[in-house]
A and B are shown apart, each in its own frame.
Chain A
Amino acid sequence: MEAESDSALIARAKQDPEAFSLLYERYVRNIYSYVYYRTGNHQDAEDLVARTFYRALKHFSRYVDRGAPFSAYLYRIAHNMVANWHRDRSRRQIVPLDETMLSGVKREQPAAVAEEKDAQGVLLEAVRHLPEDRQQLLILKFVDQLSNAEIGAIMGRTEGAIKSLYHRTLVALRQGLMGEDIKGSYHEEGER
């Protein structure tokens, strides 16, 4: 059986609460992955995902389906939630990157695997130092595996702009990993 389209579910969800549950089921995993990579720990990810869906539900009666994927609406809410979370957190304290994905590896895995996980940790840490929009792009591309058009709809940019941003992100990330002046390359991009 073919899955009901987002538009059909949205129309139905205005009258039928069960339809909203189907939208939730469809997107909760993607939103969770996105939030997890932006926060770095499961506890905060769960909290922010819950808040994202509650907010989406609260404003759902005013949601107008203009043909964009419903996920774009959810990602935008999640993005704002994460931005507020980072703002609040920076006012209080700096919490180190939670290495849940990498936990236990160093002690229990063979050295080669541990080294590989270390390299991944370094890479993820470098990703975390990128500006927000670049982190968002990499997560949407590699974690949620979205197309450039879908990413464009979420980030409010054209497909071409997404491709260009991806290119500049890779260059800046490489410079960052090589210890070059990563901030300089962001400023350079801001002037374009």
Chain B
Amino acid sequence: MTAGSDEKCTSEVLAAHADALIGRPEATQRIDVTDEERVQMAPLFELAGQLKQSMEPVQPAAAFVHSLGKELARTARHQLTATRRMRRGVLIGAATVGSLVSIASVVGAIIFVVSRQRARSHAQTL
């Protein structure tokens, strides 16, 4: 076995050991190591065990969770209302601009036709 594959194998074993320590389902796969490897890895297994013991989840204060949750819910409601209002505003604005453009093009077309007719009748008179 090469040094690279050795290291990869050690990483796999240590990862499986860590998963077993935290009780993850994927850790059910067996940690296959020889006795010699187990002896070599023993200090790292032990260190991982100490880490697991020392790093317990820490619970936030219930009052903090509750008050932050309430604040966030209020902010979320305001944010959603503001977004909806803004979307409505953008929609109304776009519709207004669209209508103005349509009216302007109709007026422009009328002016164009009228001026053309006038020009034609003026040419006939001459």
Contacts and interface: CB of A to CB of B under 8 A. Distances in A.
Interface residues of B, number: 43
A119 B47 CA distance: 12
Q: Is the interface of B mostly helix, strand, loop or mixed?
A: helix
Given A32-B60, A123-B50, A54 B72 contact: yes
A70 to B, nearest CB: 14
Interface string A168-192: 0011011001000000000000000
Interface string B55-85: 1111111001100110111011101100100
A28 B68 CA distance: 10
Contacts of B73: 17-18, 20-21
Q: Is the interface of A mostly helix, strand, loop or mixed?
A: helix
Given A141-B18, A142-B55, A170-B47, A28 B65 contact: yes
Interface in A139-182: 139, 141-145, 147-148, 160, 162-164, 166-167, 170-171, 173-174, 177
B19 interface: yes
Interface residues of A, number: 52
Contact of A171 (B18, B44, B53, B80): B44
Interface stretch (B5-13, B29-37, B113-121): B5-13
Contacts of B11: 160, 163-164, 166-167
Contacts of A30: 57
Interface of B: 7-8, 10-12, 14-15, 18-19, 21-24, 26, 43-44, 47-48, 50-61, 64-65, 68-69, 71-73, 75-77, 79-80, 83
